[in-house]
Amino acid sequence: MRRTRPFRVAVFCLLLVAPLYAASHKSPATRIDLILSEPDLARGFWGIQVVSLSSGRVLYEHNADKLFTPASNTKLFTTAAALALIGPDYTFRTTVETNGTLDKHGRLTGDLLLVGRGDPNLSGRELPYALHTERTDHPIEALEQLADEVVQKGVKYVDGDVIADDSYFAFERYGEGWSQDDLVWADGAPVSALTTNDNVVFVNILPADRAGEHAFVNITPFADYYHVDNRMITTPAGTGRRIFINREPGSTVLTIWGNMPLDDAGANEALAIEDPAEFAAGLFRQLLEKRGVVIYGQQRTRHTDLASLSTFTVTALAPARGGAEPSRALQNQPLVLASHESKPLMEDVRVINKVSQNLHAEILLRLLGREKGTAGTVEGGLEVMRGFLNNVGVPPDQYVFYDGSGLSRQNLVTPSAVVLLLRYAAQQAWGASFRDTLPVAGVDGSLAERFTDEDVQGRVRGKTGSLGGVKTLSGYATTVRGEEVAFSILTNNLNLPSKRVTDAIDDVVGAIVADGPAKKKK
């Protein structure tokens, strides 16, 4: 009896503890299934695939061959294609040039052209990108330097016009399937080969000195571009803030209304401009006139419209590394008065993936068409993309893209296609650099505020994606056992608070990292 009683107690304790132990040590696959089975999450559509990078073994999958709206996971395809086909060392060149003549008195007989070739970083953004976006106080510094060079070349008078030339790409500012609501804001900024300050202006709103007065509204870097209808009223301290901004497509009138309390620190909004080349023409003319250059002509733009591309192939003689227009090869070479060269392409890929920069991704898509396809257009870039993915081995029935950023709701892709792309990239000479462009869990970019679990922080590099009803995350992870995996998690049709969905995605990633999910058979 003395021996039996302790034995029975031990068995009893084991029976009590066993369910708790089992609950806390479920396999990662079981943990993922439990997450997806929660009633509110189960009403949406989930697609997941996790694959070992070393063996190629599928470790977990759920709806891996179903098509989903990927949102900004589209950028993985655009940036990988650009690195593979154009190369990480590619640079953009912006010039000021003329086909006229400059005499000894500083008189330029002819037009002065500001020619853009796709540089996305004619702005105050600090490069290389560190842990977050940093901007200098000089958002138009590159244009100021170009204006300084023109003056240093001796230009004092311009008999012709100041022309902003963005014809390197077609005049195709927006993607198919973009929402009209996006076009007012920085996320939907128009695309152009001549991009200044990310094609936005910063609108700063501050309370007035007394309640009842209109708030102060200031626009930089080109205050005259928009006409502001300011209806924002300053209210007593503690009354709360409400800000509404409206701009109709095609209009340069900003209507701002609402209220701002006296004790408010102020608000700053980045608003998209309407025509980037027109914006650059007016701004560059101002910069020249500030430097004493007298301009007798007008300011205007030079675009390449889509209709003209049916009879004229823009890229037939396209040079490498963003050189002069091929059409000029048949003309007299222009006189270059000033020039600006960008940082290497890899630096911008880092910006695109870290902060999910839509405009820059769209520029890359058109650059693919310009440099490697038939035209600097959306369709030209997508045609190059399809050829690239065919070489990667992604089946054509597993994706359809309408833009390069993921802003289009018509884009579709499978988790399997995303993982195939990630596995391909990991094997390339630029693969490690590509991985480094992705946000790090709990550290930087769009993942800086996610993954508070110390076991996950730093183990995951992933590209986020978000639209209404869409949340995605795809990238690379290192499990606690040291296994490297590529994963894709795509969710659609979830009518839930954003945090609820991102927390669920993060829980799935936590299960993947925990010790590498055992293969789930489908």
Q: What residues act catalytically?
A: 72, 75, 356
As a dihedral over the C-alpha atoms of residue 289, residue 302, residue 276, residue 85, rounded to 10 degrees, the angle is: -120
Residues 6+ apart with CB under 8 A from 3: none
Q: Are the C-beta atoms of 398 and 417 separated by less than 8 Å?
A: yes
- Provide the 3-class DSSP secondary structure of residue 43: coil
DSSP string, 321-333: SS-S-GGGGGSPP
* The dihedral sign for the CA sequence 320, 324, 330, 335: negative
Question: Contact at 8 Å (CB) between 416 and 65?
Answer: yes
Query: Which residues, at least 6 apart from 2, have a Cβ–Cβ distance to it below 8 Å?
Result: none
R_g over Cα of the chain: 27
Q: What's the number of CA atoms in the CB half-sphere (13 Å) around residue 514? A: 18
- Rounded CA gap, 53 and 63, in Å? 20
- Helix ranges (DSSP H) in 219-373: 276-290, 345-355, 358-372
Cα separation, 415 vs 12, in Å, equals: 46
Cα–Cα distance, 156 to 391 (Å, whole number): 54
Measured torsion, CA atoms of residues 231, 236, 241, 245, in degrees rounded to the nearest 10? 0
Per-residue three-class SS string for 437-454: CCCECCCCHHHCCCCCCC
Tokens 């049709």 belong to which residue? 493
Residue 320: closest CA among 386, 371, 394, 253: 371
